[in-house]
Every structure is written in C-alpha cells, then in structure tokens.
Amino acid sequence: MKVAKTIAWLGLVAMVAVLLNGFINGNFGEDGARLLANPWGIVSIVDLYVGFILFSMWIAFREKSVLSIIIWIILMMVFGFLTASVYILLALSRSGGDWLEFFLGARKATLLQETNKRVQ
C-alpha cells in the first residue's frame, strides 16, 4: 500500500503543478481551440474522457451513497485525474491496508457473502 500511496501522492502533486502552470501561463480558450483543431488533440481528449468514464465506473461500483457517487463523478469530469488521485488516497486510507476493501469499497461484504454462498 505504501507504493500505491506514493504513486497517488505523486499524481496529485503533478496534477496540481500542471494545472497551476496551465492557469498561470496558458489561455484556456486559445489553447483549447488549437487542441480541438488538431486531429491528435481530439484523440487525446477522447482518450482522456474515456479514462474519466472508466474510472468513474469504479467509483460508482465501490461507493454506497448515490449522492457521493454523483459528487465524485462530477469532480472527476471537471478536475480529471487530480480528483482520481485524491479519491485513491482516501480509498487507500479508508481501506486500512486491505486490498479487497480498497478495490471493492462498500460492496466488499456483499460480494464476499455471495462468493461464500456459491462455494458452499
């Protein structure tokens, strides 16, 4: 878990740094227009949002509260992998070192019960 936390922290720091750089030194309207005018810019944006959607599916799977799911997914779509880094850090902290808890979240107990019933 220590390696996962380190990677998540590095992701968070990197995202904060590049976002600050973009807001300080860039022009969102002009730069975004140039990006969208380039076919590979469009590929990059589609690739990015496919990643956001896939990550959001994991959030929706492991969270219990519909409100929490909605808030996290909105944050994911707005702030991208900055949100993912924060989410992973929180999930790692809440899991208490249990990888099943980390990956399955609120569904862990239910899924383990279903698995035990199938085995018996």
Tokens at residue 106, please? 């609120």
pLDDT value at position 26? 95
Angle (CA) 73-76-81 rounded to 5° is 150
- Could you tell me the pLDDT band of residue 119, with boundaries at 50, 70 and 90? confident
- Taking only the tens place, the pLDDT of each residue in 14-45 is 999 999 999 999 999 999 999 999 999 999 99
pLDDT value at position 57? 98
Output the pTM of the full model.
0.88
Please give the residue range of the domain that contains residue 22. 2-119
CA distance 33 to 71: 28
Domain count, the chain: 1
pLDDT value at position 118? 86
Segment 1-22 shows an average pLDDT of 96
pLDDT at residue 120 is higher than 80: no
